[in-house]
Amino acid sequence: MPIARINDHDMYYEVLGKGDPVLCMGGWGTFCHDNHHHLARGLTDRYQVIIFDYRGIGDSSDDLSVPSSISLHADDAIGLLNHLGLRNVHLVGLVGMGACVAQEMAIRRPDLARSMLNTGAWCEVDPFLRDQLEMFREIHRDAGFFAFQKVVTLLSFTPEYYIENRDKLLGPQGGWKELNGRYTAHSRLVDACIGFESRSRLHQVSCPTLVIHAALDVVTSPRTTLPIERSIPGAIGETWDDLAHVVAGKAQKIRFCHRLFEWLGSH
């Protein structure tokens, strides 16, 4: 079980495949353990893929006396790359928090960032996003995990995909399962997300950056992702008219894989 002492906590991580290094970070969950199928198909066949459990999630420990922030999680990820002796790494931040961590890393450690991809992201929290994030926390606290799971799932997928896949999206093995029984860990992740601001610093990002805007996303819509593109010098943005918060369904996943491999291959 690969656990390293990173930034004063026990950090679970996995390194899959061989090739140029790619650090993949998602939202309130993990790509580790039995979640490898959520990675872009074929990614580990072409690249060395680094994934890890956020503090308090999976097999990573947490220190509740340390305030939770995106900066803290960025320090963890930077510490892991240092531990592995890696530089010039592709930063792939998907579906929320992971994109924010990638931004923070690219700002603070340009030597680590070979390229960056963001989806489902933000660079500052407006009242609409703040109240959504607080709502998720309050529902988890007051109504329990499965009520939270249903709400966040309804807001993260298109109606068509939800209707067709409802049984596998909900329940103990459904989405955001890593938060089940871990309200405190979830609350601390929400704290990190709400406290994040990078818009005033994104001009410092020097690596090639691609931002995908999800037109159907009701959590992190182009309202929150366009400012990222506009604030990073030379960033490329593209809007997917059929994309909600999560890339889902065979056609979307294939299209995302093609775009991801095209992006990584060009840098």
> pLDDT (tens digit, 9 = 90+) per residue, 170-185?
999 999 999 999 999 9
* Crossing angle for the helix pair 183-194 and 97-108, to the nearest 10 degrees: 50
Q: Spell out the domain ranges in the chain.
A: 3-126+198-265
Inform me whether the pLDDT recorded for 1 exceeds 90.
no
> pLDDT (tens digit, 9 = 90+) per residue, 100-121?
999 999 999 999 999 999 999 9
> pLDDT (tens digit, 9 = 90+) per residue, 63-83?
999 999 999 999 999 999 999
User: With contact defined as beta carbons under 8 Å apart, do 217 and 244 qualify?
Assistant: yes
> pLDDT (tens digit, 9 = 90+) per residue, 12-68?
999 999 999 999 999 999 999 999 999 999 999 999 999 999 999 999 999 999 999
Alpha carbons 216 and 262: distance in angstroms, whole number: 24
User: With contact defined as beta carbons under 8 Å apart, do 220 and 214 qualify?
Assistant: yes
Domain 3-126+198-265, what fold? Answer: Rossmann fold (3.40.50)
List all residues 6 or more positions away from 72 whose beta carbon is below 8 Å from its beta carbon. 7, 55, 66, 192
Inform me whether the pLDDT recorded for 186 exceeds 80.
yes
pLDDT at 95: 87
Percent of the chain with pLDDT over 90: 98
Q: How far is CA 72 from the centre of its chain?
A: 15
